[in-house]
């Protein structure tokens, strides 16, 4: 039982990170119908910027907490700028192009960002400065750390904040209007360009936050770390119903838990026939099954009021 | 970093430029070496010998790929500085660096590219997974290949006459690791591998040796060479309570894995092969790596006659520490060129038979090949991670050790004092200049010896 609980904790933490990244995909898709494949790269840049700023400040003798917060702030600002720039450079000129065209520029931007990061930060793995004290907790035989608690709590708070933003503010209303019909929203006095920019900027800020979390959790970073994370988060968004905020969150957490349980139990379930290297299969089988019965994802029916 | 990159860019550009204009033919033997001393250098034909190098320059193992390339670059620069003459022509070596992304598919693509570029020899690849499929292409084209780091036994077991390696293979290493685990008093082990040809190979050999030594394998789990999260498989391993966890894979996974073991409160020891025996592993794993063990083929650099000198040269040239295989790659280049000199030809078909007959006293020891192309002897050394450094524990087996021992004892002390002197002089420009002078002298001497050797052969 303690093993099961431990796997659930592992999955929950991993899933919270997926969920936060998935929100970025789903917001952009919900408004523009575009899959921003460069989103994972924004996460990566968020992590690397934090490392650079925080390490510099720590070296200069700034207290850890201040350095960490400054690093977070710097990375959020940097990522917002990148998100805004991405939209202006790679997507806005193609607003009226066929749907496949921006998809290709998205993949192109992903490669460009990766290579820029490689030039700036190098090919080596970087270690993330330990921002939180190493506190271990034990509950019913399962171990978890302060970092894990922080990740789950912060993602939860951020996601609730985003829901409030979308459903309770004027900007959120404008976003929902643009999602339903950009032309009509324009006619109603909504500046849809500004709304789309806002979606990119907010999504990128979330990505920066996710990046800092990934960094503090694994304590390593690398210029290619965003690719796989982005792919998994995209899968999570599809699982939950892409374009739907609640779906992205549920999909992310679900995917994390499925992966953890898959890796932990697939060997026992198949009598050793399939090992833990099939854990991704486990996640994708669940995805396929869900999509077979609900092609629009778990929360797909709400696409009408997608963000 | 930027400076380093521009160097890379330059060398790539240079290689490309040379590749484009360097298609000179092998000199006619008529351009005789009759009076090499009398002939003015300008009259001598200069031929460009292209050596291919393949390693992952992007992706999670890019740091190791760069390290390998640095080893090759260092060797080639030294060779060019010596101004070798082979077959009566002045030889200029060119490195054609390729990025195989540690991907078997890409490995074959760059191998074909090197074959098409008509390289005279190939150094690499880094990974077993890329080396094995690529070796078929080199074999078909008759191009000698020496890998400094591919340790999967399959590489040399395919019956290719062109495949060589200067590092002990996984059969030898896995076996020693298994014995070492038993010696450490482990009764039960869990085995994790990254499903790469290397990781799987060494894990299988470890399993055999461990079981033979009476150790129980309580769990077998898998990951991949791009993963960062191992909590799920480690949680499962935790429930089987092993004394030791063996990881067959590279440092980029091993480091975080050791850290996550600690997070999960796993008390088992961590043990790995050469893939995790790097400074990077300790950087990534932090305190969790303290007191754990790993193995490296061969004998530690500082225990070798030419080791400290090489380390010094490497640090000075690149401003970074040796990660892992650079000395082996350096030796691979040297062995290849040594064979060319003995064959008095740079043509693959002509010098290939000489590669197998090599007896080269390199940085990593005396290199001799057995009938399949594996390095003879093949000692394995165990290390412990201590205070962010690898601490040498012991060397297990291998005739290589015995072979280098005398040489090491004879020249070790003088080499060590020389190395310290050089290190002290690091910032002293005047002394630096003398050192450069010495190097030139050395190079000249080596060149003269080479000429003498060639003449004697005639």
Of A112-126, A136-150, A275-289, B68-82, least confident by mean pLDDT is A275-289
CB contact under 8 A, A127 and B284: yes
The candidate with the shortest Cα–Cα distance to B298, out of B419, B396, B154, B411, is: B396
- Residue in A10, A121, A124 closest to B231 by CB: A10
**Predicted local distance difference test score (pLDDT) of residue A301:** 57
* Nearest CB to B60 within list A136, A218, A224: A224
Q: Return the DSSP state at B375.
A: B
* Phi, psi angle pair for A87, to nearest 5°: -65, -45
* CATH fold for the domain made of A2-293: ABC transporter involved in vitamin B12 uptake, BtuC (1.10.3470)
Is residue A221 a contact partner of residue A208, using CB atoms and an 8 Å limit? no
List the Cα angle A246/A247/A251 in 5-degree steps: 120
User: Measured between alpha carbons, how far is B366 from B360 in angstroms, rounded to an integer?
Assistant: 5
**Hey, is the C-beta of A73 within 8 angstroms of any chain B C-beta?**
no
In sequence order, the 6+-apart residues with CB closer than 8 A to the CB of B200 are B193, B194, B248
Q: Does an H or E element contain A149, and which?
A: helix A146-168
B164 SS3 class:
strand
Q: How far is CA B137 from the centre of its chain?
A: 21
Q: Are B171 and B148 in contact (CB under 8 A)?
A: no
CB B279 within 8 A of CB A158: no
CA–CA distance, A114 with A111 (Å, rounded to integer): 5
What residue in A sits closest to B265 (Cα-Cα)? A143
Task: Tell me: cis bond preceding B125? Omega within 30 of 0 counts.
Answer: yes
Give the residue from A13, A123, A136, A233 with the most B CB atoms within 10 Å of its CB, the best one to mutate: A123
Angle at B69 between CA B63 and CA B72, to 5 degrees: 150
Phi first, then psi, for residue B382 (nearest 5°) are: -100, 145
Q: Does the structure show a pLDDT above 70 at B334?
A: yes
Q: For residues B211 and B217, is the Cβ–Cβ distance under 8 A? A: yes
Per-residue pLDDT tens for A169-213? 999 999 999 988 888 999 999 998 999 999 999 999 999 999 999
Burial label, B387 (beta-carbon count in 10 A; 0-12, 13-18, 19+): exposed
pLDDT at B442: 55
Contacts of B62 in chain A (CB under 8 A): 123-124
pLDDT recorded at residue B432: 45
Other Cβ atoms closer than 10 A to A293: 7
**pLDDT score of B417 more than 50:** no
Burial class of A295 by CB neighbour count within 10 A (0 to 12, 13 to 18, 19+): exposed
Q: Does A246 touch chain B (CB under 8 A)?
A: no
Three-point CA angle B240, B242, B245, nearest 5°: 115
User: Is B255's CB within 8 Å of A14's CB?
Assistant: no
Q: How far apart are CA A170 and CA B161, in angstroms?
A: 73
CB A169 within 8 A of CB A162: no
Question: Which residues of B are less than 8 Å from A124 in CB distance?
Answer: 62-63, 280
pLDDT for the residue B311? 92
Q: What is the pLDDT of residue B136?
A: 93
* Domain boundaries defined on chain A: 2-293
Q: E strands within chain A?
A: 126-127, 136-139, 142-145, 220-221
For residue B294, list its beta bridge partners: B272, B383
Q: Find, among A14, A39, A306, A231, the residue nearest to B230 by Cα.
A: A14
Which chain B residue has its CA at the smallest distance from A134's CA?
A: B263
Q: Which residue has the tokens 């390490």?
A: A55
Q: Are A189 and B227 in contact (CB under 8 A)?
A: no
Give the ipTM.
0.82
Residue of B nearest to A148 (CA): B263
Paired tokens of B242 = 């092993």
Among the partner-chain residues B229, B235, B280, the one whose CB lies closest to the CB of A7 is B235
Question: What does the pLDDT average to over A121-144?
Answer: 81
Q: What is the pLDDT of residues B131-174, one digit of tens each?
A: 999 999 999 999 999 999 888 888 999 999 999 999 888 888 88
A11 touches chain B (CB under 8 A): yes
Cα B172 to chain centroid distance, Å, stands at 17
Q: CB burial class (10 A; 0-12, 13-18, 19+) of residue A228?
A: middle
| Cα Rg, chain A, nearest whole Å | 19
CB burial class (10 A; 0-12, 13-18, 19+) of residue B160? middle
Average pLDDT over residues B186-195: 93
DSSP for B203-256? HHHHHHHHHHTT-EEEEEEE--TT----HHHHHHHHHH--SEEEEES-HHHHHH
Residue in A155, A156, A134 with CA at minimum distance from that of residue A145: A134
Higher pLDDT residue, B12 or B87?
Answer: B87
- Chain B hits for A10, CB-CB cut-off 8 Å, are 229, 231-232, 235
DSSP of B180-210: HHHHTT-SEEEEEE-SSHHHHHHHHHHHHHH
**What pLDDT does B434 receive?**
47
pLDDT tens digits along B35-92: 444 444 456 678 899 999 999 998 888 888 999 999 999 999 999 999 888 988 899 9
Strand B89-99 and strand B85-86: pairing?
Answer: antiparallel
3-state secondary structure of B121: strand
pLDDT at B124: 87
- Nearest-neighbour CA in chain A from B365: distance (Å): 29
Angle at B240 between CA B234 and CA B242, to 5 degrees: 85
DSSP state, residue B160: -
3-state secondary structure of B40: coil
| Band of residue B177 on the pLDDT scale cut at 50, 70, 90 | very high
Decide if pLDDT at B16 tops 70: no
| DSSP, residue by residue, B316-358 | HHHSS---SSHHHHHHHHHHHHHHHHHHT---HHHHHHHHHT-
Residue B272: closest CA among B321, B206, B183: B206
Residue B15, Cα to own-chain centre: how many angstroms?
21
Name the percent of chain A lying above pLDDT 70.
Answer: 97
Which of B139, B137, B171, B178 shows the shortest CA–CA distance to B153?
Answer: B171
Query: Quick check: A78 and A46 in contact, CB under 8 A?
Result: yes
Question: What pLDDT was estimated at residue B30?
Answer: 44
The pLDDT of residue B317 is 93
End-to-end Cα spacing for chain A: 39
Angle in degrees, CA B128, A260, B177, rounded to 5 = 35
Mean pLDDT along residues B388-411:
60
Residue B10 CB neighbour total at 10 angstroms? 10
**How far is Cα of residue A299 from the mean position of the Cα atoms in its chain?**
18
Residue B424: pLDDT over 70: no
- List phi, psi (to 5°) of B189: -130, 155
pTM of the model: 0.72
Among B26-30, B48-52, B206-210, name the one with the lowest average pLDDT.
Answer: B26-30
3-state secondary structure of B43: coil
* Residue A40 near chain B (CB below 8 Å): no
Of A291-305, B233-247, B322-336, B361-375, give the lowest mean pLDDT range: A291-305
């Amino acid at each position: 039982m303690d093993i099961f609980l431990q796997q659930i904790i592992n999955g929950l933490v991993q899933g919270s990170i997926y969920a936060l990244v998935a929100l970025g995909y789903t917001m952009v898709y919900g408004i523009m119908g575009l899959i921003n494949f460069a989103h994972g790269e924004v996460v990566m840049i968020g992590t690397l910027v934090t490392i650079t700023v925080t390490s510099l400040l720590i070296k200069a003798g700034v207290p850890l907490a201040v350095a960490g917060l400054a690093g977070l702030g710097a990375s959020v600002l940097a990522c917002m700028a990148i998100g805004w720039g991405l939209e202006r450079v790679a997507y806005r000129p193609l607003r009226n192009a066929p749907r496949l065209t921006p998809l290709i520029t998205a993949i192109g931007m992903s490669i460009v960002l990766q290579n820029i990061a490689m030039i700036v930060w190098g090919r080596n793995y970087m270690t993330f400065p330990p921002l939180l004290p190493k506190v271990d907790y034990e509950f019913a035989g399962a171990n978890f750390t302060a970092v894990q608690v922080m990740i789950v709590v912060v993602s939860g708070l951020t996601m609730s904040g985003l829901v409030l933003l979308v459903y309770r503010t004027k900007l959120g209303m404008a976003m929902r209007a643009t999602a339903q019909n950009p032309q009509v929203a324009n006619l109603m006095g909504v500046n849809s360009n500004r709304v789309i920019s806002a979606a990119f900027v907010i999504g990128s800020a979330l990505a920066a936050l996710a990046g800092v979390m990934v960094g503090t959790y694994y304590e390593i970073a690398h210029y290619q770390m965003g690719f796989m994370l982005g792919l998994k988060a995209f899968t999570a968004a599809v699982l939950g119903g892409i374009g739907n905020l609640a779906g992205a969150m549920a999909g992310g957490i679900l995917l994390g838990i499925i992966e953890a349980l898959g890796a932990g139990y697939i060997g026992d379930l198949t009598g050793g026939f399939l090992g833990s290297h099939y854990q991704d299969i486990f996640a994708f089988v669940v995805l396929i099954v869900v999509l077979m019965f609900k092609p629009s994802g778990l929360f797909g029916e709400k696409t009408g009021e997608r963000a | 970093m930027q400076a380093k990159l521009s160097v890379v860019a330059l060398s790539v550009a240079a290689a490309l430029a040379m590749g484009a204009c360097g298609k000179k033919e092998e000199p006619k033997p008529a351009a005789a070496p009759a009076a090499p001393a009398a002939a003015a250098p300008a009259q001598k034909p200069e031929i460009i010998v292209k050596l291919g190098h393949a390693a992952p320059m992007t992706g999670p193992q890019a740091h190791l790929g760069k390290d390998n390339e640095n080893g090759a670059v260092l060797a080639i620069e030294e060779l060019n500085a010596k101004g070798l003459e082979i077959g009566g022509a002045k030889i200029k070596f060119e490195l054609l660096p390729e990025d195989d992304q540690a991907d078997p598919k890409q490995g074959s693509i760059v191998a074909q590219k090197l074959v098409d570029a008509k390289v005279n020899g190939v150094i690499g690849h880094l990974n077993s997974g890329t080396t094995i499929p690529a070796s078929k292409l080199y074999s078909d084209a008759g191009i000698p290949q020496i890998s400094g780091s591919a340790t999967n036994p399959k590489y040399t077991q395919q019956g290719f006459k062109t495949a060589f390696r200067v590092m002990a293979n996984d059969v030898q290493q896995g076996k020693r690791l298994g014995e070492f685990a038993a010696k450490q008093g482990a009764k039960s082990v869990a085995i994790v591998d990254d499903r790469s040809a290397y990781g799987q190979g060494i894990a299988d050999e470890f399993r055999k040796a461990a079981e033979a030594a009476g150790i129980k394998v309580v769990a077998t789990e898998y990951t991949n060479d791009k993963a960062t999260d191992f909590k799920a498989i480690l949680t499962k391993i935790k429930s089987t309570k092993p004394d030791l966890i063996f990881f067959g894979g590279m440092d980029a996974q091993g480091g975080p894995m050791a850290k996550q073991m600690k997070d999960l409160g796993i008390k088992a020891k961590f043990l790995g092969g050469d893939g995790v025996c790097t400074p990077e592993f300790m950087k990534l794993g932090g305190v969790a790596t303290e007191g754990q063990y790993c193995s490296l083929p061969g004998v530690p650099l500082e225990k070798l006659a030419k080791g400290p000198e090489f380390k010094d040269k490497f640090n000075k040239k690149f401003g970074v520490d040796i990660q892992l295989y650079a000395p082996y790659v350096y030796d691979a280049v040297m062995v290849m060129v040594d064979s060319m000199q003995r064959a008095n030809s740079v043509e693959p078909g002509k010098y290939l038979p000489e590669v197998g007959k090599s007896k080269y006293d390199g940085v990593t020891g005396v290199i001799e090949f057995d009938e399949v192309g594996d390095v003879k002897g093949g000692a394995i050394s165990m290390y412990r991670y201590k205070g962010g450094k690898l601490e040498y524990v012991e060397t297990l087996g291998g005739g290589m050790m015995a072979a280098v021992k005398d040489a090491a004892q004879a020249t070790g002390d003088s080499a060590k004092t020389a190395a310290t002197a050089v290190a002290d002089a690091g910032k002293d420009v005047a002394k630096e200049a003398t050192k450069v002078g010495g190097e030139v002298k050395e190079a000249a001497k080596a060149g003269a010896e080479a000429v003498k050797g060639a003449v004697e052969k005639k």
